[in-house]
Amino acid sequence: MKGICPNCEKETELELVNELETVDVRGEAIEVEAEYFRCTECTVEFENTRGPDALEAAYREYRQRRHMLQPEEIRGWRKQHGLTQKELARLLSWGDVTLSRYENGALQDEAHEKILRLAMEPHNLLQLIKETPGALSPVKQQRLIEEFELEEQQACTFERLLEERLGRYGPDELSGYRMLDVQKLLHTILFFCSGEGQLKTKLNKLLFYADFLHFKRYTISITGARYAHLPFGPVPDNYERFFAELVDEQRLSIEPEIMGPYVGENCVAQLEPDLSMFDASEIKILAEVKDQFKTFSSTEITDFSHAEAGYTETALAERISYSYAEQLQIE
């Protein structure tokens, strides 16, 4: 094709070249397709301004690998609630330009990614709207508060009951920076207990490893459950209450299982797990954890969990911070 070569400064025959290019994104090498022109007369290569942007493609791939929000997801969520960039930036205590840059393709840092994820939880956004006077007009503020409060009132009674029984808490280091998601916790349990079931002692460890391994890789837990140090290893906080409710609701059955001189409790799912509520990274972790420990007995996985820093460095009944996920024995 013919075009103007910036080096020759005249119209020449140009060759369109497509090559793989390695782009360094925060220390990670990402290979993307680059497109540029080469002048057939002087052989100088120059950018095709109408072609794909290699840096933009590299950022997109980086976000995908790390399960970060893409620009269109941020923009779509903001517009879904009728917020302008300036209004949302004020709610998040960011500069006006920051949000605009992220929506237009700039790569967000991990801290801002975490803040966005937290804000996307309806309850958290409601609190931000209530606690940030002046960010919105009084009319819009009242409208959004009413909408979110109505949604909370209409939420599943089962979920609300469990949240009240287990204790309401915000996303923090003890919950893996996620609010407790009762449905995800339920379907994680159903996933591990499908088929012949799972002994309760082992089940508690599988839940711990699923949440902590996901946090280790993606800095957010799957279920938002808190875990405590008990004699048989890390367990979900108030797990007995949760299991009791699941049995009452006929979502789980707990049957005695005789093992020599001991009697264990075998948890069997009464429903099929709904995996559609999990994203790809969460499903991957659930499958990995189930496979990793498939040959472990309850005693073996208990002994294994007792060697975790999160267990050895905490006291009996103390909650275990997700910061210990970095030292998890499994990768």
Same domain, 176 and 312: yes
Count the domains in the chain: 3
322 within 8 A of 177, measured Cβ to Cβ: yes
* Reduced 3-state DSSP string for the chain: CEEEECCCCEEEEEEEEEEEEEEEECCEEEEEEEEEEEECCCCCEEECCCCCCHHHHHHHHHHHHCCCCCHHHHHHHHHHCCCCHHHHHHHCCCCHHHHHHHHCCCCCCHHHHHHHHHHCCHHHHHHHHHHCCCCCCHHHHHHHHHHHHHHHHCCCHHHHHHHHHHCCCCCCCCCCCCCCCHHHHHHHHHHHHCCCCEEHHHHHHHHHHHHHHHHHHHCCCCCCCCEEEECCEEEECCHHHHHHHHHHCCCEEEEEEEECCEEEEEEEECCCCCHHHCCHHHHHHHHHHHHHCCCCCHHHHHHHHHCCHHHHCCCCCCECCHHHHHHCCCC
Reported as a pLDDT band with limits 50, 70 and 90, residue 258 is confident
Domain annotation covers residue 161: no
Domain annotation covers residue 59: no
Same domain, 135 and 251: no
pLDDT at 29 over 90: yes
Q: What is the CATH number of the domain that holds 42?
A: 3.10.20
What's the rounded Cα separation, in Å, for the pair 183 and 170? 17
Among the ranges given (31-35, 131-135, 160-164), the one the predictor scored with the smallest mean pLDDT: 160-164
Q: What is the pLDDT of residue 10?
A: 86
Q: What is the pLDDT of residue 165?
A: 66
Same domain, 6 and 131: no
pLDDT at 75 over 70: yes
Domain annotation covers residue 298: yes
User: By C-alpha distance, which of 59, 38, 60 is closest to 48?
Assistant: 38
pLDDT at 1 over 90: no
Q: What is the pLDDT of residue 156?
A: 58
Among the ranges given (33-47, 87-101, 213-227, 315-329), the one the predictor scored with the smallest mean pLDDT: 33-47
Average pLDDT score over residue span 9-29: 88
Average pLDDT score over residue span 265-273: 93
In this structure, which long-range contacts are made by residues 308-313, counting pairs with CB atoms below 8 Å and at least 24 apart in sequence? Answer: 308/234, 310/212, 310/227, 310/234, 311/229, 311/233, 311/234
Domain annotation covers residue 176: yes
Domain annotation covers residue 162: no
Q: Which domain holds residue 218?
A: 170-327
Q: What is the pLDDT of residues 228-254, one digit of tens each?
A: 999 999 999 988 888 888 898 899 999
Same domain, 124 and 216: no
Residue with tokens 């409710």: 245
Average pLDDT score over residue span 99-126: 92
